[in-house]
Amino acid sequence: MSPKKTSPEITMTQGAGGEPQQRGGETLTTNHGMPIPDNQNSLKSGKRGPTLLEDFVLREKIFHFDHERIPERIVHARGTGVHGYFECTDPIPELTMAQPFREKGTKVPVFARFSTVAGSKGSKDTPRDVRGFAVKFYTEEGNWDLVGNNIPVFFIQDAMKFPDLIHSVKPEADRGFPQAASAHDTFWDFISLTPESMNMVMWVMSDRAIPRSFRMMDGFGVHTFRFINADGAAKFVKFHWRSTLRAQSTTWDEAVKISGADPDYQRRDMFEAIQSGDFPEWELGVQVFDEDWAAQQPYDVLDATKLIPEEDIPLRIVGRMVLDRYPDNFFAETEQVAFLPTNVIPGIDFSEDPLLQGRLFSYLDTQKSRLGTTNFHQIPVNAPKCPMHNFQRDGMMQTHVHKGRANYEPNSLYKAEEETGPRPAEHTFTTHPEAEAGPKLRVRSESFADHYSQARQFYLSQTKPEQDHIVAAITFELSKVDLEHVREQVLAQLRNIDEDMAARIAKGLNIDLPEAAEPAREPVDMPVSDALSIHKTATTAPKGRMIGVLVTDGTEDAQVDEIMAAAEKAGVTVKIIAEARGGVTLRSGEKLAADGQLAGSPSVLFDAVAVLAAPDAADHLATLAPAKDFVADAFAHLKAMVVTEAATKLLEAVDIKPDEFVFDAGTALTAVVEHAHERLWAREAMVNPAP
Ligand code: HDE
């Protein structure tokens, strides 16, 4: 029997002065604490209205709703944030007095936010784009924000060019599209006229820009910073986050299809991993070097378009970050978190990198515009977890009730008023006394003039499939560029990186190669760096991956159980997929609930797939379009597949000729788990050859 519905008449009577409305055991009140009599009906003149202006309860509710949105971030608008902690595993007090690195075992709470750059807040998770990797450390000596990316270099060398770069990649000014895409005229126009972007262009056109998961990407502080130890001695440092699941990417076709199947793919992945207790983890590595070493390199360490090859300075792992708690409220925490490169702590200082120097202004400024007040540091996610005290006062949304008369310093009133007077800190922030000399000039240093050597080093350090992906990506992007002269300008730049790559792209576009652009400085040959390749540094274990198991009525119980057991042992997640969400009846007669409906759970959402079709169900399955796509895509995306004998009908329906990565469920059932982290690159030449 269905529960009796509340009659509108009864509610109306309440509106005229009934019992206060309850919600989860708490009384609903206005923002000012007055118990609300009726949260369903506005106050009307007569039963059928009109509504009275007097209805302050309605007005407050609508007024608040009308103002719920705040401006989205001008870049990195779309992202997801997670709480966790940093733990020091190898202290380095000789290098820095920074609190997180002073003692082994020190734990510092963190909040990390991962983002795309170009798309707006409501765009998709899987465009080709750089990913933001921002971490706020709530240390005992203040908040330290390491606001980095998943790519260790940047497009430009000087902050002066940032607005132009971003204007060019965002939707075009007149038409308001394309959203979350660099494949359009204005971006490539800017890039082709900005040779310093070439190293970053190689990275962005590589698989780094289509990561499989936020959990499977590395992070980089990008700029050179300074470590300062307790004696005031300074060294340069670069920061690296290394995922313990190792970096992994999707294929481009997969990324495109995921965008449709699940625009929230990466945030959902993060959310589900944390919910299931599979906490994402990264090692924090540092590359530390001094000015003398820096002076000997063929690039300038203050130039953010350059990296320091790990073969030259290996990472020293000093700690790990574990993310273990999803925010309670997306808006309050993830949307309102304000990262500031100016948030540094004693022991960490900036370098003179002109890009970093510009960021030191921009972030503070943008938070005022986004969060509306200079007091944004009082929002819980932004507030330091250590004591804070100063004489900055008032302003919009001030929530501290400062006591006493003295709102200036120095003052001698605190003695009388029992206020806390200024107390010397054990460690204070010290600016490295770099000897600045020379006239004021609007110039770019000569040492920033080589734009191609590291781009070439990156390209040549990739495996053949990775190089193919770069060629295919640039060919794809330039095919979306309508202006012929822009395509030519880009190719003219690319010739300085690698002639063969440029020729392949020209062939893919079916246009002639133009003259090479005149380099500002002749590039030098740099040795191949294996650390630059995802494939060469890939994981050897399937941990953290997800497999999709397609079942039908009559699927053998034992097969499902065996895959489940192997997956659990390997730290792999299993999703059961069936034609209907209600699930199937297994061979034994047991019911098996599905995690997803076949039509809504395409194989692009999984790292590997099993098709455990029962003989009686195979003919029907082979007629279903989503089932055909399920296997056709898994095959085209080079994934491991396990199929029952009956399911070979489905493979035949889409003309798949099984190769060594298509396993027989009768003999190699758990191969789907063992190979979940791998792709059969050799298959790519058959299914999707690059130009
Ligand atoms: Fe940012 N960047 N950026 N950026 N950036 C912002 O600050 C800016 C740069 C990065 O999850 C904005 O709070 C300038 C490099 C991340 O909330 C803004 C320049 C790197 C995030 C801004 C750069 C980054 C931002 C927009 C060139 C990697 C997201 C909203 C001088 C090292 C943080 C905001 C989050 C966000 C300015 C270049 C990383 C406008 C002017 C290089 C991860 O202030």
Q: What is the pLDDT of residue 666?
A: 96
Is the C-beta atom of 98 inside 6 A of ligand 1? no
Ligand 1 center from residue 115 Cα (angstroms): 11
Q: What is the pLDDT of residue 106?
A: 98
- Cis omega before residue 50 (within 30°)? yes
Atom of ligand 1 lying closest to residue 221 CA:
32
**Distance in angstroms (rounded) separating the CA atoms of residues 630 and 599:** 9
User: 79-152+200-378 has which fold?
Assistant: Catalase HpII,  Chain A, domain 1 (2.40.180)
- Nearest CA among 414, 438, 427, 646 for reference residue 551: 646
- Nearest CA among 349, 324, 409, 339 for reference residue 376: 339
Is the C-beta atom of 519 inside 6 A of ligand 1? no
Atom of ligand 1 lying closest to residue 355 CA:
31
Q: Locate tokens 């944004």: which residue?
A: 376
**Distance in angstroms (rounded) separating the CA atoms of residues 184 and 297:** 36
Ligand 1 center from residue 605 Cα (angstroms): 30
Ligand 1 center from residue 190 Cα (angstroms): 19
73 labelled as ligand-binding? yes
How many Cβ atoms sit within 10 Å of the Cβ of residue 508? 17
Is the C-beta atom of 115 inside 6 A of ligand 1? yes
Ligand 1 center from residue 353 Cα (angstroms): 15
| Bridge partner residues of 641 (DSSP) | 609, 662
CATH of segment(s) 8-66: 4.10.91.20
Contact 516/543 with Cβ under 8 angstroms?
A: no
Q: What is the pLDDT of residue 8?
A: 39
Contact 631/548 with Cβ under 8 angstroms?
A: no
Ligand 1 center from residue 148 Cα (angstroms): 8
- In this structure, the residue with its CA closest to atom 39 of ligand 1 is 148
Handedness of CA 207, 603, 634, 242 (dihedral sign): positive
Q: What is the pLDDT of residue 427?
A: 84
Contact 179/123 with Cβ under 8 angstroms?
A: yes
Atom of ligand 1 lying closest to residue 222 CA:
32
Is the C-beta atom of 80 inside 6 A of ligand 1? no
**Distance in angstroms (rounded) separating the CA atoms of residues 507 and 482:** 17
370 labelled as ligand-binding? yes
Is the C-beta atom of 355 inside 6 A of ligand 1? yes
Which CATH class, in words, describes the domain spanning 541-687?
Answer: alpha beta
Q: What is the pLDDT of residue 7?
A: 38
Ligand 1 center from residue 75 Cα (angstroms): 7
CA distances to 208, 411, 412, 421 from 408, in Å: 50, 6, 10, 11
Would you list the domain boundaries of the chain? 8-66, 79-152+200-378, 452-536, 541-687
Q: What is the pLDDT of residue 1?
A: 36
**Distance in angstroms (rounded) separating the CA atoms of residues 304 and 436:** 20
Atom of ligand 1 lying closest to residue 133 CA:
43
Q: What angle do CA 663, 664, 665 make, to 5 degrees?
A: 115
Is the C-beta atom of 148 inside 6 A of ligand 1? yes
Q: Locate tokens 């056709």: which residue?
A: 632
- In this structure, the residue with its CA closest to atom 20 of ligand 1 is 148
Is the C-beta atom of 159 inside 6 A of ligand 1? yes
Atom of ligand 1 lying closest to residue 223 CA:
32
Atom of ligand 1 lying closest to residue 113 CA:
11
359 labelled as ligand-binding? yes
Long-range pairs for 565-571 at CB < 8 Å and ≥24 separation?
566/669, 566/670, 566/673, 566/674, 567/673, 570/541, 570/542, 570/543, 570/673, 570/674, 570/676, 571/278, 571/541, 571/542, 571/543, 571/544
Contact 513/495 with Cβ under 8 angstroms?
A: yes
| Bridge partner residues of 135 (DSSP) | 112, 146
How many Cβ atoms sit within 10 Å of the Cβ of residue 501? 20
- Nearest CA among 463, 108, 73, 636 for reference residue 321: 108
Ligand 1 center from residue 410 Cα (angstroms): 36
| Residue 610 three-state SS | strand
CA distances to 56, 60, 142 from 31, in Å: 11, 8, 33
Q: What is the pLDDT of residue 19?
A: 63
Q: What is the pLDDT of residue 10?
A: 38
Contact 457/529 with Cβ under 8 angstroms?
A: yes
CATH of segment(s) 452-536: 1.20.1370.20
> Tell me: the pLDDT tens digits for 458-498?
999 999 999 999 999 999 999 999 999 999 999 999 999 99
Encoded tokens for 396: 């919009």
- In this structure, the residue with its CA closest to atom 23 of ligand 1 is 359
Ligand 1 center from residue 146 Cα (angstroms): 11
**DSSP code, position 35:** B
Contact 461/528 with Cβ under 8 angstroms?
A: yes
Whole-complex ipTM: 0.98
267 labelled as ligand-binding? no
| Residue 112 three-state SS | strand
Q: What percent of the chain has pLDDT over 90?
A: 90
Ligand 1 center from residue 52 Cα (angstroms): 47
**Distance in angstroms (rounded) separating the CA atoms of residues 503 and 514:** 10
Q: Give, for ligand 1, the residue of 225, 339, 353, 377 to mutate: max count of ligand atoms closer than 8 Å to Cβ.
A: 339
Q: Give, for ligand 1, the residue of 70, 72, 73, 110 to mutate: max count of ligand atoms closer than 8 Å to Cβ.
A: 73
| Bridge partner residues of 114 (DSSP) | 80, 133
- Nearest CA among 645, 546, 618, 626 for reference residue 579: 626
Is the C-beta atom of 151 inside 6 A of ligand 1? no
Q: Give, for ligand 1, the residue of 147, 368, 379 to mutate: max count of ligand atoms closer than 8 Å to Cβ.
A: 147
Q: Which residues are catalytic?
A: 76, 149
**Distance in angstroms (rounded) separating the CA atoms of residues 486 and 475:** 13
- In this structure, the residue with its CA closest to atom 9 of ligand 1 is 359
Q: What is the pLDDT of residue 413?
A: 84
Residue 180, sorted as left (phi over 0), alpha (psi -120 to 50) or beta, turns out to be left
Is the C-beta atom of 113 inside 6 A of ligand 1? yes
- In this structure, the residue with its CA closest to atom 31 of ligand 1 is 159
504 labelled as ligand-binding? no
- Cis omega before residue 309 (within 30°)? no
- Residues of the chain with confidence (pLDDT) below 70: 1-24, 415-424
Handedness of CA 353, 357, 358, 363 (dihedral sign): positive
Q: What is the pLDDT of residue 302?
A: 98
Q: What is the pLDDT of residue 14?
A: 42
Contact 630/610 with Cβ under 8 angstroms?
A: no
Q: What is the rounded (10 degree) CA torsion for 261, 265, 268, 270?
A: 160
Q: Give, for ligand 1, the residue of 110, 158, 161, 359 to mutate: max count of ligand atoms closer than 8 Å to Cβ.
A: 359
Q: What is the pLDDT of residue 24?
A: 64
Helix H or strand E segment including 281: strand 281-289
- Nearest CA among 682, 585, 591 for reference residue 638: 682
Atom of ligand 1 lying closest to residue 356 CA:
31
